[in-house]
Amino acid sequence: MSEVIDVSKLDRNFKYQVINEPGGEGLLSCFACGTCAASCPVREVDERFNPRKLIRMVILGMKDEVLQNEFIYLCSGCYLCQERCPQDVGITELMTALRNIAVKEGYLHPSFKAQLEFVYGLGRLYELTEFDNKKRAKNGLPELTPVVDEVKTLLKEAGLSKFVEVEE
């Protein structure tokens, strides 16, 4: 592959944005040793799981590619790479920081977006139906009522409502 990355088109301030985000402080300590890249337990079966490459992209300033990268959402946060990192980059926490930046910048993975829409519309991830309450009553539990408005306020305050595309 001889694709060319034109660094002048990249965002050189992105790395500073990341180190100022809680969780991203260790980013620049990375010396690209590759410990994380071989640590990820999913890497064996899926080439996308490559923390070193992602960190490289962040340092070079490939902001759009990073924030739209599926890996930051797919990472399950097992902390293996973080534990083994010799330079204390804090990779798992860095993933959180990147997700937070992504959300602030208006990027959200479709799967998260779908979940958000549920929560926004229903106040919870699964719809509360009559069947649920019947079952609860049978077992002597109190009835649940959906708390939609409060959740909506919370999501609006958190700046997440902008991702919701459902008609109200």
Partner 1 sequence: MATKNAVVVGSGIAGLNTAFSLVEKGYTVKVIEKKPYIGGKLRQLDWQFPNDACGMCQMYPLYDPSFCDTCIRRGVAKDGIEFLTLSEVTGIEGEKGNFKVKVIKKHRGVNENCTACAKCEEVCPEYRFSDFNYIKTKAIYKDYPRNFPNLYTIDFEACTKCGKCVEVCPEDAIELEGKDEELIIEADYVFFAPGIKERDLSYLKEFGYGIYPNVINSTQFERLISGNHPNKGELKRPSDGKKPKKIAFIQCMGSRDRQNPDCSSICCMFALKEVRLLREYHEDIEPWVFYMDMRAYTKGGYRYFKTTDAHFVNARPAKVEEDENGNLLLYFEENGKFRKEEFDLVVLSVGTSVDIPQFEQKDGIYLLYDTPLEIRKSIISSYAATFEAEVLEKDEKEYTFPLKDEYSIAVVDTTGKVEKVQNLKVIEIPPLRKNEDVVTLLGKLAEESVDLFVLVVDDRFMAERLLAGRINPLTYEIIDAMRESDVKFATERAYLKLKYRVPVKGKARKPQKEVLVIGAGPAGLSVASSLARRGVRVHVVEKKENMGGEGIHIKRDMDGKDETLLEELVKEVTDLRVPVYTNSVVKNIRGIPGDYVVEIQKGNENEFVNVSAIVLATGASPYAPSEYLYGKNEKVLTQREFEEREIDVKNLNTIVMIQCVGSRNEEYPVCSVVCCRDAIKNALYIKEKNPDAEVYVLYRDMMTYGTSEKYYREARRKGVIFVRYAEENPPVVTEEGGELRVKVHDKIFDMDLSIVPDLVLLSTGMRPHEGNYELSKMLGISLDTDGYFNTLNIKFNPIQTKNAGVFIAGTALSPMTMDEAVLSGKAAASKVLDFLNNFGVNQRYRTSAVRERVCAGCALCVEVCPFEARFIEEDEKVAKVIYDICQACGLCVAACPSGSAFLLGEETKGIMHALSRI
The number of angstroms, rounded, from the C-alpha of 144 to the middle of its chain's C-alpha atoms is 30
Report the nearest approach of partner 1 to the CB of residue 20 (Å).
Answer: 12
d(CA 18, CA 13): 9
Span 76-95, contacts to partner 1 by CB under 8 A: 80, 83-88
State how far the Cα of 58 lies from the Cα of 62, in Å rounded to an integer: 6
DSSP 68: T
By CB under 8 A, tell whether 15 contacts partner 1: yes
Determine the 3-state secondary structure of 24 from DSSP.
coil
SS3 143: coil
Phi-psi sector, 52: left (phi>0), alpha (psi -120 to 50), beta: alpha
Residue 18 sits in the site that holds partner 1 (CB under 8 A): no
Q: Is 63 in the site for partner 1 (CB under 8 A)?
A: no
The yes or no reply on residue 43 touching partner 1 (CB under 8 A) is: yes
| Residues binding partner 1: number (CB under 8 A) | 38
User: Which residue in 20, 21, 23, 28 binds partner 1 (CB under 8 A)?
Assistant: 28
**Which residues make up the interface to partner 1 (CB under 8 A)?**
1-8, 12, 15-16, 28-39, 43-44, 47, 52-53, 56, 59-60, 80, 83-88
